[in-house]
Every structure is written in structure tokens, then in C-alpha cells.
Amino acid sequence: MLNCQEASRLLSDAQDRGLDWREQLPLRWHLVWCDGCRNFREQIGFLRLATRRFPGRDEHTPKD
């Protein structure tokens, strides 16, 4: 089972790339049990969305 530090890294990585099944499976299992990491997942998702919608964002910045 992953520890919180490993789960946080994978959650962050997942914002930039797809995770393979060897990463997804232990991460999903960890998230079943860990409230803190579930909260972190929500927070980084919110931050990503907020920065995409931020006024004045450079028009030439690629959108994901």
C-alpha cells in the first residue's frame, strides 16, 4: 500500500499525465482509506480549474 507522500506525488503527476494501471490501482486503494489524500485530490483539482479560469491568463498558454 502507498503512503501519503507517494499518493500525493501520483495525484500531482495525474494532473499532467495519465497514470498506468500499476499506479492507478494502489492509488485508488489508498484513497479508499485516506481522507487527507482525498482532500488533497479535490484541492489540486480545484486549483487547476481556478488557474485555467484566472483572468489575464496568457492567451498563448496551451490549454489542457
pLDDT of residue 13: 93
The more confidently predicted of residues 51 and 59 is 51
Residues contacting 45, CB < 8 A, separation 6+ = 15
Number of domains in the chain: 1
Give the count of beta carbons closer than 10 Å to the beta carbon of residue 4: 12
23 is in which domain, residue-wise?
Answer: 4-52
Q: Which of 43, 42, 30 is nearest to 3 (CA)?
A: 30
Confirm whether 11 is domain-assigned. Answer: yes
**Taking the alpha carbons of 47, 52, 54, 56 in that order, is the dihedral positive or negative?**
positive
Q: Would you place residue 61 in the very low, low, confident or very high pLDDT band (cuts 50, 70, 90)?
A: low
pLDDT of residue 3: 95
Q: Which amino acid is at 1?
A: M
Does residue 59 have a pLDDT over 60? no
Q: pLDDT digits over 2-40, tens only?
A: 999 999 999 999 988 999 999 999 999 999 999 999 999
Confirm whether 12 is domain-assigned. Answer: yes
